[in-house]
Structure 1
């Protein structure tokens, strides 16, 4: 048994060749069960390997899936950018109606908590932008360096679909366009067909990212996490 790590929502352990995931909070249990329903439908439509969990225990909730190959990538290349662009094109072409039928919901942002807990100059202007963002695409919802795996100079998989939802396609481009090397971001943008409007919305999501970290720090009672989150909020604003 090998402990693989934990995110905000779940822990992962390698047991006998399988990755076992357990919720860190009670409300995450249904989220893991939902993945076990949605991912068998979604995985065959995607050009990179993704987890396809199955429920092995309902009380407490435990799901398991095959280990997705690869590790976090140190150097993101143009070829990888094209791969991720193709992955996002396939994901975003998936049927919203079918995903909804399988239990995928729309994103509900904690705007009132943002207002109450992240009081910074210029913050209200950013929050006002959220009212105009669309919610018409099936999205991963938490695409970042820890969830995009690679090996041997190529991407090998995408993991952690716990935040899968019906939302704005531009949320996937926040990290991919604003926190990656220019050659990667440019290749991804060309492959995906990023428009000026998409790029601007991606900037909104990029600036909003650290706000969630502040709330998470408050939830777990860790002022250090809150401090880092606030520093990120100010830097991106």
Structure 2
């Protein structure tokens, strides 16, 4: 799902479990803990999130050598509780303003979207049928739970967006699936890593351009587009994925009984539809 909110992941360490650690977590799906300043431990918040972590353990070690930027390479360090660990990738959240960052991300996405999709599924990625089924279920929930909450002035454009997303058929490529500022870590003008791969699957590659080409600054976005070279249809689809982002925030607020997420998500939906 396209949620544009986000987080990731001494010589004297116990490889088979966390030592004294600092929690630096804010993620929706996983508890994320920094261990000894060098390792990131991730454990699912809910039992239904465990399969996606197991998929990462299979997929990311295969994928990492194929990409021009660092990504996590997790290993299982505990089965009870289920926990994976990878080396900490340094950096701050990408501000989405630097052309150098944008060019690096554009090249990264071209490489990611060029990966053999069949081999990616063999390595553990969710296939296009599973991803499509999940999306259709999410869109149905948005129509039932979120659309009625929109003000009248946004209702028709909101319904049109859901209709486009429901009926659209596109070629599927391996995507990150949740590529926002917090999941791109930067150190100066360099990219320190691309993190949080829980939503990776085979789906419309336009999802990865939603924030990078439409939610960032003009300089960053232009550099992404120059490096990636998307056609107009791909950019139009990316715009719809960008419009859909705050709808997930509303669903999260409803699912977890957090009205602040519902309120901010609805404000984001209206702002993007009217922009």
Distance 1:3 1:167 in 2: 33
* Gap runs ≥5 in structure 1: none
Shift of 1:133: 4.0
What are the residue-to-residue correspondences of 1:112-127 with 2, within 5 Å?
112-119=140-147, 120=150, 121=155, 122-127=157-162
- Give the TM-score normalised by the residue count of structure 2: 0.83
2:72 is aligned with 1:51: yes
The answer to whether residue 230 in structure 2 is matched with residue 209 in structure 1 is no
Distance 1:60 1:133 in 2: 39
Whole-Å separation in 2 of the counterparts to 1:141 and 1:93: 15
Does 1:88 pair with 2:116?
no
* Structure 1 residue aligned with 2:26: 6
Matching of residue 193 in structure 1 with residue 229 in structure 2: yes
Match of 1:162 in 2: 198
Kept in 2: contact 1:135–1:166 (CA 8 A): no
Unaligned runs of 5+ in 2: 1-20
- Quote the offset at 1:206 in angstroms: 0.4
Alignment partners' CA distance in 2, 1:147 and 1:133: 27
Give the superposition deviation at 1:10.
0.6
**2:84 — aligned with what?**
63
Q: Which has the higher contact order (CA 8 A, sep 6+)?
A: 2
Q: TM-score, normalised by structure 1?
A: 0.96
**Cα distance in 2, alignment partners of residues 23 and 206 from structure 1:** 26
Correspondence 1:21 to 2:42: yes
* Alignment check: 8 A CA contact 1:10 1:28 kept: yes
What does residue 41 of structure 1 align with? 62
Q: Is the 8 A contact 2:62 2:123 kept in 1?
A: no
DSSP-derived class of the 2:196 partner: coil
Residue aligning to 1:129: 164
| Of 122, 126, 139, the match for 1:111 | 139
Looking at structure 1, the residues matched to 213 and 89 of structure 2 have their Cα atoms a distance apart, in angstroms, of 24
Distance 2:248 2:159 in 1: 15
User: Could you list the runs of 4 or more consecutive aligned residues of structure 1 that deviate by over 3 angstroms after TM superposition?
Assistant: none
Q: Give 1:223 deviation, angstroms.
A: 1.1
Counterpart CA distance in 2 for 1:6 and 1:55 is 21
Q: How many residue pairs align between the two structures?
A: 237
Contact 2:95 2:181 in 1 (8 A): no
CA–CA separation in structure 2 for the residues paired with 1:29 and 1:191: 35
TM-superposition CA deviations, 1:195-227 (whole Å, max 9, x none): 111110000000001111111111111111111
Q: Distance in 2 between matches of 1:144 and 1:64?
A: 22
